[in-house]
Each structure stands twice: as structure tokens, then as C-alpha cells.
Amino acid sequence: MTYEGARSITGPFLSVLGASGAAVGFVAGLGELVGYTFRLASGYISDRTGKYWTITLIGYFINMLAVPTLALAGRWETAAALIIAERLGKAIRNPARDAMLSHATANIGQGWGFGLHEALDQIGAISGPLIIAIILYFKGTYQRGFAVLLIPALLTLSIILLARYLFPQPKNLETITPSLETKGLSRTYFLYLFAISLNAAGYADFPLIAYHFQKIAIVPPSEIPLFYAVAMGVDAIAALVFGRLFDRYGLSILIISVAFSSLFPPLVFFGNFSIGLAGMVLWGVGMGAQESIMRAFVALTVPPEKRGTAYGLFNTGYGIFWFLGSAVMGLLYDHSLTALVAFSMMAQLASIPLLFSLKSKRKG
């Protein structure tokens, strides 16, 4: 609720503070780069020290408190720094958190477990933007919206501390050891990382999409968060459906999700109100897959004691490509929407042949 509520308006907020389209794309991409690159160190340290909860808690405190502080930002550069700080907090916590989730989901299926986690996560991802939309509807400012998000931020920190108290040893939750391809990080793992990174490079971040919606005025500013909420609702449903199907059919489901989501760029950047909304639905499908089955496959390819490192490295590579793609799309936005859409679609579709290759190898 906290950071997704903030993400629903960071693009327009930066615009109001004077940022250009290129700046919005760069900040969004840099935030994701920081948010993924630092996961490499965080994951490695988690595995080496075993301090999964300590690292997770540090990340959550940074992640949560950066959001309401945006209410005090008076320049777009200050807001950009806080947006990046929020991503840094998420970077610190995610590898350790995902490693703990991999233990908790071992008995119910990795796809379903990570899909369920993503679906529950989207309750907040829908609620946050809706709260912001209500505030803007009643003529509230972006700053007021960020300030209100202090409430769910404090609730989050309280609940994560309770979880730490109730489940101090997450490894004890895994009673069934999944079958592993190798004892370390295999060639399959790295090929999969490259495939998913290509998909990330072509995935336009929502701040740039929201910036576009506001600039061409096909969506009233107060309704832009609603578009994001719709996408998050689709994300939740897609995560559950794809997660369950992934446990049964494997990588075929991931290939299908990539094919569907690759169709969103022309809809959101060329469409009117209705077509743009349809594009956000497809965007949500892709996000649901990225946050569930893409992570589930990693847990199936590495041993438990290396999952923190594996998730950290996976997210670092993913984030580098996301940053490069976002920076390119931000520059293209100011010059040619056609080129932006072509780049986005081609980068996403380029991952499909690699996923087919992995599918064949796993059958063999």
C-alpha cells in the first residue's frame, strides 16, 4: 500500500516539480537499477551470515520511511533521491525475503507459493493507488498523498517485527527439499537470467506511462492512479493463475505470459482512454508473471543455501537491463513514440526463443 501508492504518482509528481520526460525515464530506470543492483550484495551477505531477518528489517525501514518523506520534497532532484532511496530499501530486503519465502513455499509448490505471495501483495498495491486517487479527487495535493502513506508504512513495520518474533527460523518451514539440477549456479540459471533480463529491458515502467497519460491528457490526473490500481488487480489474478499453472506445466506458462504482455506498448502509448486501459491490463499480466513464476523458477535451479545469492544476482542482472531499457525509452519518448514502442516490443519478444531453449533442455 505504501510504496505502490507512491509509485502511482511519482511520474506526475516529478513532472509538476519540473522534470522532463527524459528525466522521469532516467529516474525511474536508475531507481530500478539501484533497487536491483544492490540485491547482489544483500543476497550474498544474507547467505554468508544467515541474518535473513536482520537484513530484511533494515531494508523495510528504509523502504517504508522514504515514501512519506516525499511530502517534504520541493525540487524534483530531491524527490528523485527519495524515490531511489525507496528502491534501495527494497533492494536490501528482497533477496533475504525471497530466500525465506522459498522455504515457506516448498511444501505447496514454488509457483503457487510465490503467486500467492504476489496476489496478497497486490491487496496493498490496489489500496494504495485508490487512496491516492481519493485524495486527488477531493483536490488534495501530491504532497498530502505521500504524507497519508505514513500510516500504512508504520503498520508495515509493526507487522514485519511481529513476523520476526513468530517465525525466527524460516529454514525450519521447509520440510521437503526440492530436486535440484546442480549444486551451484548452473548454465541454465544464467541463460534464464539473460532471457528474463531482455524482457525487463523492454518493460516500460509505470512512471513513464503515467507521464505520457498526463501529457497527452487522455486520462484525467485524478484517474491515473486508478489505471495503476486496475493493473495491480490484474497482476494479482495473473500471479495466482500463472503460479498454479507453472507448477503443472513449467516454462510454457512463462512463455505465454511474455507473449501476451508484449502487446501492451502500442496500446498505452498510441491508444485513447479505453485502449490505454486495455494496455494497462496487459501490463498487469506481465507484472504478475515477473513477480511470481519468474522468481519461482530460480528456487528450482539452486540449492537452499545459495538462494539468497541466486536471487541477488538474478535481480541485479534484471535491474541493469531494466535501467538501460528505461533510459533508452525515456530518451525515445522525447523523439519518437513509434521507436519507443518498437524497442519495447522487440526486447520483450527476444526473450521467448531463449525460454523455448530452456524448456527443451529441461525436458531432455
Pairwise CA distance, residues 147 & 3, whole Å: 12
- 145 close to 137: Cβ distance less than 8 angstroms: no
**Does 331 map to a domain?**
yes
Residue 179, in any domain of the structure: no
The 10s digit of each residue's pLDDT in 10-25 is 888 888 888 887 788 7
Please state, in angstroms and as integers, the Cα–Cα distance from residue 154 to each residue in 1, 62, 98, 141, 347, following that order. Answer: 11, 12, 22, 21, 39
Per the domain annotation, does 172 fall within a domain?
Answer: no
- Identify whether the C-beta of residue 237 lies closer than 8 Å to the C-beta of residue 176: no
Q: Which helix (H) or strand (E) holds 310?
A: helix 307-333
> Model pTM?
0.70
pLDDT above 70 (res 81)? yes
Mean pLDDT of 179-199: 76
Q: Is residue 187 part of a domain?
A: no
Please indicate, yes or no, if residue 15 is contained in any of the structural domains.
Answer: yes
Is residue 182 in some structural domain?
Answer: no
Q: Quote the mean pLDDT of the chain.
A: 85
Q: Quick check: 292 pLDDT over 90?
A: no
pLDDT value for 180: 44
Range of the domain at 158: 2-166+201-363
Q: What is the pLDDT of residue 198?
A: 92
pLDDT (0 to 100) of residue 147: 94
Band (pLDDT 50/70/90 cuts) for residue 181 is very low
Share of the chain above pLDDT 70, in %: 96
According to the per-residue pLDDT averaged within each range, which of 150-164, 312-326, 348-362 is highest?
150-164
Q: How many domains does the chain have?
A: 1
* CATH code for the domain of 272: 1.20.1250.20
> What is the per-residue pLDDT across 198-253, written as a single tens digit (0 to 9) for each?
998 999 888 889 888 888 877 777 788 788 888 888 888 888 888 888 888 888 88
**Average pLDDT over every residue of 270-297:** 87
Which pLDDT score, from 0 to 100, does residue 183 have? Answer: 57
What does 21-54 look like in DSSP terms, one character per residue? HHHHHHHHHHHHHHHHHHHHHHHHHHHHH--HHH
> Residue 344: its pLDDT value, please?
94
- Name the CA dihedral angle for 296, 297, 303, 308, rounded to a multiple of 10 degrees: -60
Tens of pLDDT, residue by residue over 116-175, are 888 888 888 788 888 998 998 888 889 999 999 999 999 999 999 998 898 888 777 766
